[in-house]
Amino acid sequence: MTKWITPITDRSILDITVKTPKAYLNVTDLSRIESNIAYLSKRLSLLGYRIKQTIPIDWAKCGVPRVADIQRICESILEIVNVYHKPCEYTDLSGIPNKPLHFTDINAIEQNLSQILSLIEQGLTHDYLSRLTHGQLRSYTHAQIRTGGVTTTN
């Protein structure tokens, strides 16, 4: 299975001004994002979720990303959210492919991936929810259940 690579989620205007390595979207960033999407897809598939498996693109061989590539990345993350759960602080990525990329867009992409992994690691899965009774779930909203806001005492 593809390994999880720690995302970079703290790019700032200072990075752009000073031209630090975080100021540039490069092969390493794109490869990490693609790899983390594949990792989440595979991990969710192993947990029983029906999700399309993605094969990371080797950006060292592909060159500059096109609008279609950024759109595919955003749609892959949306597919994961639609099949699994939407994190509380999820950022809508739908407008990103239609405008010039900004460092906050790349932060949002990587933050969303990180938040999804966090939910998986907290144990929020179909198996988790199947162990709860209707009575235990009754006091929670659908949004709380989908984002892991359910706590139980056994």
Say whether pLDDT at 83 is over 60.
yes
Question: What number of other Cβ atoms are within 10 A of residue 33's Cβ?
Answer: 25
Average pLDDT across the chain, whole number: 86
Average pLDDT over residues 22-51: 92
User: Which amino acid appears at position 144 of this protein?
Assistant: Q
| DSSP single-letter state for residue 62 | H
Token reading at 31 = 């490869």
pLDDT tens sequence across 116-133: 999 999 887 655 556 666
Say whether pLDDT at 154 is over 60.
no
